[in-house]
Structure 1
Amino acid sequence: MLFRGDPSEKDWQLFRKKIRGWQDAYMGKLVQEYMEILQKDVSASERFWTLEERIKKDRKNPGLIVEMSRRRLLSNLANLAAYGVIHKSDLEEFSDKMKKDIEEIMDYNGIDYK
């Protein structure tokens, strides 16, 4: 059964504390990938348009943008996990209920969650 009701205050506060660090680390990963695009041995215009398209796509990623509301906590964590922004080990401090709910969402959607 999936999560019912509001998340605990502890889980909400923990998420608010951790989200910025998770997003910053993810942005660092993206910057490295962008640098690889810019270093390719192709024309400047091809590098520019490839990078522009990639950034446009990445702007919609939950690793960069999340709706900061308590009611969206579970879906935010599940999306972050699905996109590889966070992993099981990042959720160790969260309640057992929250971890179980995220695990169920990942299993239901067939997402390999490590």
Structure 2
Amino acid sequence: MDQALASIAVAHVAANLPKPSTVGARRVLKGNEAKHRKSKDPRRRPRRATAANPPALKKMVATADTATAIGCWDIAALLLGFTLAAAAPDCGCSIGPTSRRA
């Protein structure tokens, strides 16, 4: 929430507009947060994406544009991230807040 409000304030400054008051927005967001916390709706639970597997990684790499620097950067980031995630269990590293070392 703070990041979203900060980005709005920065956008206003960049556009030479006065910074907006965030008091009202904070109240609305806090109220929504409290309402959703009390809700038993399963759609309100945080979701995690499933881990990428080699066929999914191949599809992601195939869609990147290798003719541009950004496309090459995307491929490098995908491959590095996949390699580090695959190597983490072997080196005893924990990745993420839910990982636990034995």
Shorter-chain-normalised TM-score: which range? Answer: 0.3 to 0.5
Q: Report the TM-score, using the length of structure 1 for normalisation.
A: 0.30
Bigger relative contact order (CA 8 A; separation at least 6) = 1
Q: Report the TM-score, using the length of structure 2 for normalisation.
A: 0.32
| Structure of greater Rg | 2
